[in-house]
Structures are given as C-alpha cells and as structure tokens.
Amino acid sequence: MKCKGFAHKYGDHIDTDVIIPARVLNNPDPAALAAHCMEDIDKEFVKRVKAGDIMVGGLNFGCGSSREHAPISIKAAGISCVIAENFARIFFRNAINIGLPVLECPEAAKEAAMGDEIEVDLDNGAIHNITKDKHYVAAPFPPFMQKIITAGGLVEYIKNKRED
Amino acid sequence: MAMTMTQKILAQKAGKPSVVAGELVECNLDLVFGNDITGPVAIGEFYKMGATKVFDPNKVALVPDHFTPNKDIAAAGLAKTTREFARKMGVHYFEVGQVGVEHALLPEKGLIKPGDAVIGADSHTCTHGALGAFTTGVGSTDMAAGMATGTAWFKIPEAIKVTVTGKKQKHVSGKDVILHLIGILGVDGARYRSLEFGGDIAQLTMDDRFTIANMAVEAGAKNGIFPVDEVTLEYIAAHGGNKGVAYAADPDAEYVQEVVIDLNEVPLTVAFPHLPENARTVAEAEKMKIAIDQVVIGSCTNGRIDDMRAAAAVLKGRKVADYVRCIIFPATQAIWKQCVDEGLMNIFIDAGAAVSTPTCGPCLGGHMGILAEGEKCVSTTNRNFVGRMGHVTSEIYLASPAVAAASAVAGYICGPDSLE
C-alpha cells in the first residue's frame, strides 16, 4: 500500500494535548475531533490538510496522555501516515491499533520540510521525498505488530482470532 | 537469566520461566480499567470486536473521574455510556459521590496488589507501580481488547535503575524527587523503559511513591515500580489486605542506565512551562518573582492525604493572596472525609481556598479551573504542556503541594520557608 501527499512538519515532543485538546474530548466522533486537530500549535493545519497528506514529527511524537482521540483525529483529518524520528509508546501502540500507519525514520523526519511532497510504500517502509529527491527506509515492524497492521487494526485482529 | 522486577512480573503473567528485553509476550491481566473519556471509546471498540461480555467482571473497573460531575451535556452522555456499560457488565464502578481520581481510588479500594499486571486507559496508570505491580497506560482499543480477552501484548522493557540515597530535606516530597529526576532524564529519557526504584526507600511514604511512579510516564517510561517493603504492606493491610506476590529484581539484573538520587541534594523543585523536564529549583524561581493567578492542589499526582496535610501545614493561619484563586481537590471521598476529620478543611476554607469534590477537571483543562489568556498557574498536577489547562498562552508551573500552597499565599512562586 502506498501513501502520497504533502508534509505537515512539526518539532520534538509533540504531545497529545496539542494534537487534540481535552476541551473537545467530550465528543469522540472522529470528524468532530478532526476539526480541532493540531489547532493549539497550528491553526492552519485543518484548513491546509488534504486527504493523503503526511504528518512529520521529531523526537517522542505523541507523548503525554493515552487518549486514542489523538491518532483518531490525525487519521480523520486525512493524514495517511505519520513519520517521526521516534514515537512515545502509548501513541505508537494506539496508532497501530486504530490502523494509522506510523513510521520511525530519523533521517526522513529531520530532512523533510513543511510542504515537501512525500511518497511512502507501507509494505517495505520505503520513503521517497519527491521534492528533495531523497530516498529513505523506515525501521520495519516486528512480525507480531505487522499482523495487527495487516488485519487493519486490533479490532479486526481480535475479531479474526475469535473466529478461528 | 537475571530479570528486573518488571520482567519477572511479565514473565509470570505470560507463563514463561524467563523473558528478555525486546521479547514480545502476551500476558494475563489482573485488572483492566478506564475512565469517562477513554471508556466510551473502548466500549464502542469492544462491541466492534464482537465481544458480548467482559472476561471477568471482577477484573474490570470503570472510573468516571475526568469530566465528572458532568461538565456539559456531551460529557454527561459519555458518563451515561460508561455507567450503562458498567451496570450491564457488572464490573467495578464508582458513581459520583463514591468516585475519586482513578489512580488514587483503585489502590484505596484494594483493587491492585503487588505482582499484578494491569492496564488502564489513562497514561498515569503507571502510578500503581508504587505497590510493586506492573501497571501501564494504554489507549481505548487496548482497553477494549483487555476487557474482552483478559490479555494484552507487551514488549519486555529494558530498565533504568533509580537508587535513592541520603535523607529527604525539609519540605521536600515525592514530587520534588520526581521533578528532579525528570529534569535529569528528560521527557523521553526513559522512553519504552521501566523506571525501577530502589535503595533507601523506607523514608518515602506510600503517597510519595504514588507521586513518583505517577510521573514515570512524563519521562516516557512504560512503567515505574517500587519494591514491596514494610511501608507497602502497611498500606495494603489498611486497604483490602491482599498482599499479592512481592517480586524483587535479581541482583545481577541488567539496566541500561543507573541513576543515583541523593536526597540530601534534592531541593524544592518546580518544572517551568512547557515541559515537565524544565526543572528549576524553587529558590531560583523565587528570585524571578513570577506572579501567579491560580493554584491547583490535587490530581492523581498530588491529591492524597500527605498532600492535603502538606498544603494545610502551609496554609494554616494564613490567607491566599488577593486576586489569586487557590483550588484544592482531595482525590477521593475517603481523603475528603479525612480532611474534614483532621480539621484540614477548616484550614483550607479559612485561608480562602476553594475545595472541590474529587475530579481530574482542571489538570487536563476539562473544567473546574480553566486558565484565561496569559494566566499563570502553580499546579501539583503532572503536565505543563501548551494549552493543557486552558488558553494556549497560559503557563503551568508544576510543583509540590507545599510549594503550591506557599505560592498561593505569596502570590508568586516561592517555598514555605519564604513566607512570613
């Protein structure tokens, strides 16, 4: 599976409070959450984002609260995958569980700039920054996690297991 | 193979004689819990999985503590979803009037014991490692899978060993210790790792330990854990009495990093905006005369009886400064009642503080103490991220109850000894 879109670039330690503030968590509807995604650090994000776009972060992306609303809001905003130098563990786990692809690739994350056109091949972790004409490869997922991803998230994975 | 405390618990729960860091295991869970924000999302996913009942109603808890008492109509709907599911499934549930902040309430009710493996759909689930259990925060989908199957998968973490030495100085509490430690490690210094505490911990009260383990996640840790000792057993005897299984790390267990915290050298500490790693000494902050608008004392980090007593000791016979709001949140009904019985409530009210029923409210910018544009708050909570407690230009300074109370009286950030 391939994703292609423009980069929305952010810095280190992007926390789940800025991804989706608690004041809007009273409505967990994905579309309602998407309307407020990133608004505390980037008011233009929701206006700028187009389906398929790619979010790029630095170190420890998604730190803080365990709110699954954070990856849900990013996915519902149209982001096809998140590339970061690395991720906070709960966010990483939540993203995999809800079927939002997350790739760890320090070089690709550092070198990408806001608005760069990026193509990602999720099957092999190949990242192509088209604007800069540079190629990278993200760290592969452990086989166990790949099974959850292939199933389309933890819900489907558990469902399949129950049916076995 | 030598193992850490965390590794031993996970090995036991995975039914394996031993595990190594990096290994993926599936573990049986002793408790799965969530709150009124994460619970409703988990309930939706639970049904999507095709589940119809929870694996064991005695091992599932729903604690509506975040937006309760219901802050608005939408939040009331979330609380209702949580309540109806709890009632239908017969799981542990605590209604307003009995509810407390989950990470203060669950140990008080004896629902977590040493040696347990626990997941909670709240990042501060790591709090319960203070009891010698493996407890970690997850999202709603993991909670749903946990409720349905009684299991969760984990990557066996590496560990950082934190050895406590020396003696705690005057007014210094668990909060100063953990802010100091996060200042050393950074907000991602323990990412994916266990923080395993040891050394001269006898002087750390149970409440100190809960505070320290609570903020392990603010260093990125998967869990924080204390060994079981007399202090733990005394707490357990008073709260349900189930001693569980005490695990100790093997003497030759491997650690990726070792940190020694000499308590003689841990000062009163405050974390400046906008990251918990921005630790400075209170003495340094005091020189800057940072005028404040609000003080919050409470939360899963610092809403326990030690915290209430520390705040009361400072507020006794004093008044909150003009134009400063001081809001105090005992974390559970039992702590609230104890505040009444010990006369702390009178001290708070006489000082001009507002005292609220238990809620997570202000800590996450939910309700009950939201900050306006440009306002500054000294808070005993755990996060000082941009916009966490209100307007994006507001500022949060994280500190202990003693420092927060002193700051409320002075109107600027200071320690208790600086008050007249």
Q: What is the mean pLDDT of residues B263-274?
A: 98
Q: Do B187 and A162 touch (CB under 8 A)?
A: no
pLDDT given at position B64? 98
Nearest CA in chain B to A87: B191
Selecting from B24, B139, B364 the residue whose C-beta is nearest the C-beta of A97 gives B139
Cβ B363 vs Cβ B296: under 8 Å: yes
Query: What is the structure's pLDDT at A162?
Result: 74
| Helix H or strand E segment including A135 | strand A134-137
pLDDT value for A137 = 97
Chain B residues with beta carbon closer than 8 angstroms to that of A98: 139, 141
Name the residue facing A27 among B50, B74, B388 (closest C-beta). B74
pLDDT of residue A146: 83
Tell me the pLDDT band of A145, cut-offs 50, 70 and 90: confident
- Residues in B closer than 8 angstroms to A159, CB to CB, are 48-50
Give chain B's radius of gyration (CA, Å).
20
Rounded to an integer, the average pLDDT of B38-60 is 97
The C-alpha of A61 sits at a distance from chain B's nearest C-alpha, in angstroms, of: 10
Say whether pLDDT at A58 is over 90.
yes
A88 touches chain B (CB under 8 A): yes
| CA-based nearest distance A138→chain B, Å | 19
- Over residues B357-384, the pLDDT tens digits come to 999 999 999 999 999 999 999 999 999 9
Average pLDDT over residues A73-85: 98
Give the distance from residue A131's alpha carbon to the nearest chain B alpha carbon, in angstroms: 31
pTM above 0.95, yes or no: yes
Q: What is the mean pLDDT of residues B246-271?
A: 98
CB contact at 8 A, B131 and B210: no
> Each residue of A96-118: pLDDT tens digit?
999 999 999 999 999 999 999 99
Q: What residues in B contact A23, CB-CB < 8 Å?
A: 365-366
Chain A segment 28-87 residues within 8 A of B by beta carbon are 28, 40-41, 59-60, 63-69, 71-72, 86
- For residues B201 and B164, the answer to whether their CB atoms sit within 8 Å is yes
| Residue A141, pLDDT above cutoff 90 | no
In 3D space, the residue among B141, B288, B130, B158 whose CA is nearest the CA of residue B215 turns out to be B130
Contact status, residue B320 vs residue B412, Cβ threshold 8 Å: no
- Record: contact B385-A15, CB cut-off 8 A: yes
Residues 6+ apart with CB under 8 A from B49: A155, A158, A159, A162, B144, B145, B148
- List CB contacts of B34: < 8 A, sequence separation 6 or more: B42, B62, B63, B120, B121, B122, B140, B143
pLDDT > 90? residue A4: yes
pLDDT (mean) for B33-40: 98
pLDDT the model gives residue A149 = 82
- Beta partners for B260? B163
Mean pLDDT of A22-42: 97
Per-residue confidence (pLDDT) for residue B299, from 0 to 100: 98
Distance from the Cα of residue B54 to its chain's centroid: 26
Q: Do B365 and A23 touch (CB under 8 A)?
A: yes
Contact A90/B at CB under 8 A: yes
So what's the pLDDT on residue B28? 98
Per-residue pLDDT, A160: 86
Q: Give mean pLDDT, residues A134-161.
A: 87
Measured CA to CA, the distance from residue B402 to residue B173 in angstroms comes to: 9
Q: Which tens digits make up the pLDDT trace of B176-212?
A: 999 999 999 999 999 999 999 999 999 999 999 999 9
pLDDT at A163 over 80: no
**Alpha-carbon distance values, B204 to A161, B72, B232 (Å):** 45, 40, 10
How far apart are alpha carbons B80 and A107 in whole angstroms? 47
> Is a pLDDT exceeding 90 seen at residue B385?
yes
Residue pointed to by tokens 């365990």: A66
DSSP A24: G
Rg (CA), chain A: 15
Cβ atoms < 10 Å from Cβ of A44: 10
Q: Which residues, in sequence order, are bridge partners of residue B120? A: B33, B137
Q: Do B387 and A27 touch (CB under 8 A)?
A: no
Residues in chain B closer than 8 A to A99 (CB atoms): none
What are the chain A neighbours of B147 within 8 Å (beta carbons)? none
In terms of Cβ atoms closer than 10 Å to its own Cβ (0-12, 13-18, 19+), residue A78 is middle
With an 8 Å Cβ cutoff, is A25 touching chain B? Answer: yes
Q: How do strand A2-9 and strand A54-57 relate by DSSP bridges?
A: parallel
- Mean pLDDT, chain B, whole residue set: 98
- Mean pLDDT over B295-306 rounds to 98
Q: Which of A134-143, B169-178, B319-328, B395-404 has the lowest mean pLDDT?
A: A134-143
3-state SS record for chain B: CCCCHHHHHHHHHCCCCCCCCCCEEEEECCEEEEECCHHHHHHHHHHHCCCCCCCCHHHEEEECCCCCCCCCHHHHHHHHHHHHHHHHHCCEECCCCCCCCHHHHHHHCCCCCCCCEEEECCHHHHHHHHHCCEEEECCHHHHHHHHHHCEEEEECCCEEEEEEECCCCCCCCHHHHHHHHHHHHCCCCCCCCEEEEEECHHHCCHHHHHHHHHHHHHHCCCEEECCCCHHHHHHHHHCCCCCCCCCCCCCCCCCCEEEEEEHHHCCCEEECCCCCCCEEEHHHHHHCCCECCEEEEEHHHHCCHHHHHHHHHHHCCCCCCCCCEEEEECCCHHHHHHHHHCCHHHHHHHHCCEECCCCCHHHHCCCCCCECCCCEEEECCCCCCCCCCECCCCEEEECCHHHHHHHHHHCECCCHHHCC
| pLDDT recorded at residue B49 | 94
